[in-house]
Structures are given as C-alpha cells and as structure tokens.
A and B are shown apart, each in its own frame.
Chain A
Amino acid sequence: MSGEEEENAAELKIGDEFLKAKCLMNCEVALILEHKYEQLQQMSEDPMNQVSQVFEKSLQYVKRFSRYKNPDAVRQVREILSRYQLAEFELCVLGNLCPETVEEAIAMVPSIKTKGRAHDDEAIEKMLNDLSLIKKFE
C-alpha cells in the first residue's frame, strides 16, 4: 500500500497494483484449478500428492463457493458484468456473491454507488436480472 490512506476494499482503496491486477471470480478459479488437477491426474496416479496444500484447500473452496459451474455460463457472467463499467474487484465480488436485490448489491459493493459513478438503481437492477437469467438457463 502506498500513501497514508488505509486499505479498504469497500471504498475500492486496495492499492494501485491491485486495482490494475486482474481479479478472478471463484467460478473462474474453479475451472482453472480443475483443469490443472486433471492434467496432473494424467501424469501421476496420486495427483493429490503432487499439489501443494494451498492448491488443495483453494480447490475445495472454489468448488463449494462457485455460483456457476458450466464454462459457458462462467464466460457469460464476466461478459455481462463487463458491460457495467465496474472495477475488476467489484465485478468479481458481484459474480461471487450474486446479490438478489439492489439493496444487497450496494451493501456488498458500496463503491458502486459512490459519487461520480453512473450506476443508478435501475442499471444495477438490470445487471442483477441479467445475472440471474444466466443462472436460470445454466
């Protein structure tokens, strides 16, 4: 962290290096780690022995906390959220938590309602509707 301002993701203060970094949603990480794990399976009989604890715990976690499983749905979620001028960080929080109401979305990602940003309640509502449609047709 540079500067005196304290880190706070709720206000999107997370340090420039991370604002530019690409964030990944749980469902995207699940696809990548599962693919890695399959590769290992082909090379060895006991793949769980080949991976680090960090890998193993993370794989378990993203399997449980992915809202979308189908690779096409995962791609669509990112595509739809990308239309709403969100920061990478905000996009992933919304994709991970899938809020159902506008109020809930703002509680989870307060920065989408801060001054100077074009998100009125109507735009947020539409975004949440689009997201729930993907879930329905997955």
Chain B
Amino acid sequence: MFLKVQLPWNVIIPAENLDAKGLMLQRAITVRLMENFATRKATKDLGYFLAVTTLESIGEGRVRQHTGDVLFPVVFSCITFKLFRGDVLEGVVHKVLKHGVFLRCGPVENIYLSCLKMPDYKYVTGENPVFLNDKLSKIEKDVAIRFMVIGTKWLEVEREFQALVSLEGDYLGPIS
C-alpha cells in the first residue's frame, strides 16, 4: 500500500554551501533533503521511500561546533510503499522456478509465491517454465497476478523487504 506520510528530519548544510541570499539556502536545503531521502531507500517502519511531495517547514538552523555546518530541522510530506500482512495486491512475475515464482510489486523485487501456496497449479518444465492449473490458467514470466501478503521480512543490511504471498483464497490468481 502506498502511504502519504509527514516526517521531521534534520538536514545538514556544509558551511561552504551557506549563502547570504536566503533563496539559495532554501534551495540547498531542498536539494540536500532530496539526496538524503533517495539514499535512505527504506525503513522498517515506513517502507520504501518514493518521493518527497512538499517541504512543509524549515526550522531555525543550529551551527554545529568544530565543523561550522548548519543543521536545519525540516518537516516534509512524502510517499512511501509498505507491504502489510493480509493486504491484497497485484504484481508481475519475473522469475519462474520449480518450487515457486518471484514477483515484483511496486519497488519490491523479492516477493515469493511458493508452489505450496498455489496447490492447484502444477509446474510444467520447458524452455519457458510455467505453472498451470486444471482450468488452464497460466502463471509465467511477465504475467500479472493478484495475491495476498502472508508475511514480510525487513533486511537491515540491504535496506529491503522480502515478502511471502499466497493464492489461497477467492478471486486470487492471474489477471488479464
């Protein structure tokens, strides 16, 4: 699910970027905030960081001793994407393996649908392996699938989420 979140952060502007003209300072703060935001990539609580939408306020700058850099507390709104257990989403298959398929959904690449969670589908080997069920519904590379999230895991080192999803339930499966 995509979320709109308001966050307070601190932005540090190096002394050499400080300018007597206030306009340039505001620009420097915005640019630095965007950079920090993109590098942060994701957090466990809020999910993936997509884009800053508005810079709501810039507080009083505080000079840091020794370096002379200035730290500005800012408040901004942004869009994030987080996977919730129980959420029904749509994603695209990007890898078909014997024991299940990997899907992509929004910024998340590692979404695993195990063959145990789609019991009516059987693996069919070949140059382009697929999963097929009795009704000839086909799960293959680049097919869009509606699934339910059954578990998520945060990887601190990679700053990424992994998720396990299922097709057990009504109205889940490949979509045209």
Q: Which residues of A contact B (CB under 8 A)?
A: 6-11, 13-14, 17-18, 21-26, 28-29, 32-33, 36, 51-55, 57-58, 61-62, 64-65, 89, 92-93, 96-97, 99, 103-104, 107-109
Contact = CB atoms under 8 A, between A and B. Distances in A.
Nearest to B3: A21
Contacts of A55: 38, 50-51
**Chain A at the B interface: SS class:** helix
A29 B2 contact: yes
Q: Which of B3, B5, B53 has the most CB of A within 10 A?
A: B3
Contacts of B4: 21-24
Interface in B1-59: 1-5, 38, 41-42, 45, 48-51, 53
**Chain B at the A interface: SS class:** strand
Contacts of B149: 9
Nearest to B90: A65
A53 B2 CA distance: 16
Interface residues of B, number: 37
Nearest to B2: A24
CB-based closest 6 A-B pairs = A10-B86, A9-B86, A52-B38, A9-B84, A8-B86, A22-B4
22 contacts: A7-B85, A8-B86, A9-B149, A14-B84, A17-B45, A18-B82, A21-B3, A24-B2, A32-B51, A32-B79, A52-B38, A54-B41, A55-B38, A55-B51, A58-B48, A58-B107, A64-B92, A89-B1, A107-B169, A107-B170, A108-B88, A109-B88
A23 B82 CA distance: 10
A130 B144 CA distance: 26
Contacts of A9: 1, 84-87, 149
A26 B2 contact: yes
Q: Which of B48, B53, B87 has the most CB of A within 10 A?
A: B87
B168 to A, nearest CB: 12
Given A18-B3, A21-B3, A57-B106, A36 B86 contact: no
A64 B41 CA distance: 22
Contacts of A52: 38, 41, 49
B95 interface: no
Given A54-B41, A92-B2, 18 more contacts: A13-B86, A14-B86, A18-B84, A23-B3, A25-B2, A36-B51, A51-B38, A52-B38, A54-B50, A54-B107, A96-B89, A97-B88, A99-B171, A103-B170, A107-B170, A108-B88, A108-B171, A109-B88
Contacts of B2: 23-26, 28-29, 62, 92
Q: Which of B79, B86, B104 has the most CB of A within 10 A?
A: B86
Given A24-B3, A32-B53, A52-B38, A93 B107 contact: no
